[in-house]
Structure 1
Amino acid sequence: MKLAGLLMTVSLVAAAAQDKPLPPHESLLAADYVGGQKPSVTEKAKIEIVDVTGQAFAKAVKTTNLQPMKAFYELQLAVVCQQPVAKSDILHVRFYARGVAPEDETGEARGHIYFQKHSPNWHKMLTSDFRAGTNWKRYDYPFVARRDHAAGETALCFGLGYGKQEMEIGGVQFLRMPKGTKLRDLPRTPVTYPGSAPNAAWRRGAAERIEQHRKGDLKVTVVDAKGKPVPNAVVQAELTRHAFQFSSVISIPRFTAKDPALDTYRQKARELFNATGNENALKWPPWESNWGGAYQKKTTVATLREFHDAGYHVRGHVMVWPNWKHLPRELQKLKGTPDQSKVPQLVLDHIREIGAATRDVVDEWDVINETRSNHELMDLFGREIMIDWFKAAREVLPTHDLYINDYSILNSPPGSRNHAAYLDTIQFLLKGGAPVTGVGFQAHLGGNLPNPAMVYRTLEEFGKLGLKMRVTEFDIDIDDEDAQARYTRDFMTLLFSHPSVVGFQMWGFWEGAHWRPKGAMYRRNWEPKPNAEAYRDLVFRQWQTNEKTTTDANGACAVRGFLGEYKVSVQAAGKAQVVKAKLAKTGTEMVVRLK
């Protein structure tokens, strides 16, 4: 079965699983879950009970994280189960939630649902992360009890100790199903998204745009040594490198480690992509070896040179991340001192130094990163300082593309505050003469996956700026691997269809070198996940050209193929010739002379 058909089947099965009705059941909660929570305010968080309209429940517990927390259990909602639980009981948790996390890349609030022994060793029988967007969503989690517990020994808990966010939870049910109930017969929350249907309207437009913008006509004329046309020559045109950039960042310390166990990592980084970028090595602190000896300028430049010289497009990330915590230690020491005024010049010096050091191995740069939430330098020295940064980059990099980069744009609707802030910043830079040539969109996605049609509207909105666009940091941090694969396919397809998008970059591809391992394409043992198959199906099968044809009486033939570099092989009358060609959007005409 083709991947598209397989993913479609999985999608339909997942939707059916969510819609299954609950059989007769017994509640294990002695009272209302929300009513069992006590309003409170601490330096970390606020807990309150709020009214709800338009739902089957009238109250919800609302938590507001006033400061980031390091562990989900630092903010916990819990209700003790006053019923005994027996091993092999079929249990089911249902609740509704909505939330917002303005400083998270996904914009979604994070939560952790778990059922555990309510005393050391805190043995857990259910544990699952979830994410909540701005609209109420129902969540269903069936599971099997693995131990016997007496009444009062267990608790149903929500862990909400994450970054700054707001979360509302209501309609909580904790149920025991009749003996003989099968887990597969109970509703289970799949990760779905609007626009996932096989006949979704956005798909047709995307296919048409791909045909229009990502393909061209390669016209080949075959002649003999005297220049006469050669009819019936066999011509094969094989795409060897896409014009569109498919990329992943790499961990340079892992890539350069003298460890045979990492050979597969190095191999896959070269095999899967035609472009690359750095995860951390070009950020300012590691560039200055603030992160230890694994980060050295010489090693970083040598690694990027290896890719550049092999024909890979190389991205640099990032010249300025304008918060104190993202600056080298030596600059952080200047904060609040009389020497703080030296910081603007030190930033300009850094831009010129790293730009010059990487000029021949890096093709483009993120000059500034995440200005919406990282603006301490602008607050101190004025917004115009960003214009100075771009101008300094252009001085040292006269022909390189220079990008601005930010998060929670593609998963926010057009007209949102995130969009308005990003557009305002870019327009401010352009109006001030900053040589911005590209717009970067991070795409760290969670359980609330944006409608591809909405993503297209966002690209159209930012496309009016007339700049190049690319996704710079992609991953999907969810447990549902089938949904992860489906959305990877759809998201990449939508991006590939937009004429202003020049590339797509993952923020890692292997669990052993990934900031959010669930987002990787390959498990630690290098077993490919479904999203790896989705990626490979698009890049190496659906979006490939390898066609064979024959010339007509005039020695001419044509192949319509994806834009990029080609190997053109010609055979006729016992002679063969292989030449290289580059297929551009406007089309390419070439003459092959058989010798």
Structure 2
Amino acid sequence: MKNMRILSRLIISILLCNALFACGGGSSKPDIEQEVEQEQDENANETETETETETETEGEGEGEGEGEGTGESEGGSEKETDNGLYSVSGQVHGLYQQSLKLSVNDDELIEINNAGDFSFSTTYLDQQDILVSVSTQPDNLNCNVINATTTIDKSHVTDVIVQCSEQLKQCDKTTAEATNSLDLSGNNITGIEAIVEDVECGQQQWRKDANQRIAQHRKTAGKITLLDKNGDIVKNAKVHIELQQHQFKFGGIVQAKMWDGSEGNFSDLYRQTYLGFNFTKAGLQNGLKYKLRSGFEEITARLIPWLKSYNIPVRGHTLIWPGWGNMESTISADDAQRFGISAGSPSELSNADLKTYVDSIIKEWAAKWDVEEWDVANEVRGKFDVQENLGYQEEAHWFKLAKQHVKNPNAILFLNENRVVSDNALGDVTDKMEVFESDMLSILDNDGPLEALGFQSRFGTLVDGELLDAETMYKRLEYFDQYNLPIAATEFEMKGGAENLGIATEYERALMTERVMSVYFSKENVTDILVWTFFDKGDGKERHIVELDGSPNLRGKTWLYMVKKHWHTERHDWFNRSGELHFDGFKGTYTATVSIDGVDEEIMFEWIDASSGINLQLSNYTN
């Protein structure tokens, strides 16, 4: 590199010498050779003549790129100079300190002035390759050079941009940034600091494996290109990109009567808190069960449109729960007349009337509600009174009926079951898992359109005196890979300490909440996790994640931290001189706020498969 600078100065001296000879000047060739020899002997100091030359060329592009917007002048360069020498300059944006040092071609090292401007004193010849890099940066900053490489093309380089942001080490994220008990940002980690520290710093093999799978399956990386309203490339524009919604569904089941205000006098608080969790899928605990329609149908008719008004899709639970104790105790006279069957208890019907009754409620209920998916059958492993009377082939028949009559033709049909992954029996594959598998295969073998598996994922009962470990959870999920079906955690919750064999302490319930979320989120074919009990029901079971005053308990804080902070992507950066930005983030829906000349424009975009890159087009800006 030193030899390049020597060669550059030799050429410059020859040019100056020729100019002087042409004018009759007094310099001579021996003087030039003497100057080169002197330069080769110097380690630090330069001749007075060279310093004057560099000082004159240094200011040629100084101050370019200040403020917001495109950090350039006409392509990031200025016109050709008279002496054939070109400078490199730019500006630092974001957070920075004077201890930040930059280098060009690993040679000259400079500090940054208070305004963030920088200009290298070294000048360069046409067609010379340039690389600007960060040589020294404070421990608390992460600085990235945009337009770091270029080849001089008869112009000054003025569009080098250095973006500096706060660099938090993973293990520094264990202090609560908010202490308000009603805070729903994920910043209030009071009481779960040790859980957060383990999330960020833990070195357990299961956690390393889960993090690797999450990076592989839940994130994507690629190129984003910025275009103006005419489709032309926009260079050197500032951008703030932030994840708004995961592709993965972190959902919450709605307690319909609390939402309505007919149970508890806090409807507004309930709705505000529910929306504050940013759930991306919903369901109803009891509002879509046929047997409970008299108390819920009117509420449900208002609740589903409310959820959809916030772009929250709704799942249906359930079309048939085929145990006598889970069906209405007495068939109404109206239903008996409409269906053409006898009134009374379902258990007392003839087989012909029982089949008519079950088929009728599945067809009617599936056709009535516009939902994204249905639990067609619920808990058939232990609820089989109807099947014992009509035959187990009816399970596949129920799925066929649902597919024929669903209001939403794209609705996905689930078989929903308890204690699959959460079974407290020892072993990677348990008896309950195998019975569920047998039920699933019977439906598929009889051509039932079973399209997804619902694992309720209600944890609490200890396994051999311990909380279920992460490795066993993952192996139980993995067991069903052979069937290539999506899986959802449809009723996710922790059983409380007041219940028989429930998890004794709130801290342990929070610990288990994080463990289950991390394992499920890392499994490629798991699509959803839905919280079953949102607000405290006052039944002493301690299954909720939010208290009646709207404050998250430790489980609620853990959920918020994982979804809104730990698994979150936010980036302040710049598009380069080619209008491109390489971006790596969680799959989902993003906003990109582009700033040009002090004017912001927000673009919403999907970031699902970035292998081919995407274009973002501004609607108001033209180059």
Q: TM-score, normalised by structure 1?
A: 0.64
Contact 1:414–1:458 (CA under 8 A) maintained in structure 2: yes
Contact 2:414–2:450 (CA under 8 A) maintained in structure 1: yes
Q: Distance in 2 between the 1:351 and 1:302 partners?
A: 22
254-263 vs 498-507, which deviates more?
A: 254-263
Q: Name the structure 1 match of 2:297.
A: 297
Q: Name the structure 2 match of 1:456.
A: 474
Contact 1:405–1:441 (CA under 8 A) maintained in structure 2: yes
Deviation per CA, 1:229-261: give whole Å up to 9, x if none: 222201222211221111121111121126752
Closer, same or farther in 2 for the Cα pair 1:497/1:2, shift >3 Å? farther
Match of 2:303, SS state, is helix
Q: Name the structure 1 match of 2:308.
A: 308
Matched, 1:283 2:263: no
Matched, 1:522 2:546: yes
Match of 1:486 among 511, 517, 530: 511
Q: Name the structure 1 match of 2:392.
A: 383
Deviation per CA, 1:197-228: give whole Å up to 9, x if none: 94322111110111111112363222345544
Q: Name the structure 1 match of 2:103.
A: none
Matched, 1:341 2:375: no
Match of 1:504, SS state, is strand
Match of 1:329, SS state, is coil
Match of 1:311, SS state, is coil
Q: Name the structure 2 match of 1:500.
A: 525
Closer, same or farther in 2 for the Cα pair 1:554/1:285, shift >3 Å? same
Q: Distance in 2 between the 1:557 and 1:11 partners?
A: 31
Contact 1:334–1:340 (CA under 8 A) maintained in structure 2: no
Q: Name the structure 1 match of 2:317.
A: 317
Q: Distance in 2 between the 1:245 and 1:218 partners?
A: 23
Closer, same or farther in 2 for the Cα pair 1:562/1:421, shift >3 Å? same
Give the deviation of 1:591 after TM superposition: 2.9
Closer, same or farther in 2 for the Cα pair 1:590/1:196, shift >3 Å? closer
Contact 1:567–1:580 (CA under 8 A) maintained in structure 2: yes
Q: Name the structure 1 match of 2:605.
A: 581
Match of 1:464, SS state, is helix
Q: Distance in 2 between the 1:196 and 1:555 partners?
A: 34
Q: Distance in 2 between the 1:12 and 1:207 partners?
A: 15
Give the deviation of 1:270 after TM superposition: 1.8
Q: Distance in 1 between the 2:510 and 2:347 partners?
A: 48
Contact 2:286–2:296 (CA under 8 A) maintained in structure 1: no
Match of 2:457, SS state, is strand
Q: Distance in 2 between the 1:297 and 1:196 partners?
A: 45
Contact 2:318–2:375 (CA under 8 A) maintained in structure 1: yes
493-502 vs 471-480, which deviates more?
A: 471-480
Match of 1:492, SS state, is helix
Matched, 1:429 2:453: no
Closer, same or farther in 2 for the Cα pair 1:551/1:417, shift >3 Å? same
Match of 2:542, SS state, is helix
Aligned-pair RMSD on alpha carbons?
2.7
Q: Distance in 1 between the 2:521 and 2:430 partners?
A: 24
Contact 1:284–1:326 (CA under 8 A) maintained in structure 2: no
Amino acid at match of 2:359: L
Q: Distance in 1 between the 2:568 and 2:201 partners?
A: 25
Q: Distance in 2 between the 1:440 and 1:264 partners?
A: 30
Match of 1:439 among 453, 472, 491: 453
Matched, 1:216 2:220: yes
Match of 1:494, SS state, is helix
Amino acid at match of 2:303: T
Match of 2:435, SS state, is helix
Q: Name the structure 2 match of 1:469.
A: 487
Matched, 1:555 2:566: no
Give the deviation of 1:314 after TM superposition: 0.9
Amino acid at match of 1:464: Q
Equivalence map 1:189-338=2 (5 Å): 198-217=202-221, 219-257=223-261, 261-272=266-277, 273-287=279-293, 289=294, 295-331=295-331, 333-335=344-346, 337=348
Q: Distance in 1 between the 2:581 and 2:417 partners?
A: 46
Amino acid at match of 1:406: E
Q: Distance in 2 between the 1:364 and 1:313 partners?
A: 9
- 5+ residue gaps, structure 2, are 1-173, 177-188, 332-342, 497-502
Amino acid at match of 1:265: Y
Match of 1:394 among 403, 406, 414: 403
Give the deviation of 1:263 after TM superposition: 1.7
State the structure with more CA Rg: 2
Contact 2:520–2:526 (CA under 8 A) maintained in structure 1: yes
Closer, same or farther in 2 for the Cα pair 1:8/1:222, shift >3 Å? closer
More strand by share: 1
Match of 1:536 among 560, 565, 573: 560
Give the deviation of 1:567 after TM superposition: 1.3
Contact 1:479–1:518 (CA under 8 A) maintained in structure 2: no
Q: Distance in 1 between the 2:538 and 2:253 partners?
A: 10
Amino acid at match of 2:402: A
Q: Name the structure 2 match of 1:119.
A: none
Give the deviation of 1:337 after TM superposition: 4.2
Contact 1:218–1:583 (CA under 8 A) maintained in structure 2: no
Q: TM-score, normalised by structure 2?
A: 0.61
Contact 1:355–1:396 (CA under 8 A) maintained in structure 2: yes
Matched, 1:567 2:567: no
Give the deviation of 1:299 after TM superposition: 2.3
Q: Distance in 1 between the 2:471 and 2:614 partners?
A: 36
Deviation per CA, 1:43-71: give whole Å up to 9, x if none: xxxxxxxxxxxxxxxxxxxxxxxxxxxxx
Give the deviation of 1:318 after TM superposition: 0.6
Q: Name the structure 1 match of 2:364.
A: 353
Amino acid at match of 2:285: E
Matched, 1:590 2:590: no
Contact 1:213–1:585 (CA under 8 A) maintained in structure 2: no
Deviation per CA, 1:298-354: give whole Å up to 9, x if none: 321220121123211211111100011111233482446464421112211111111
Deviation per CA, 1:439-468: give whole Å up to 9, x if none: 011122225121111111011111221111
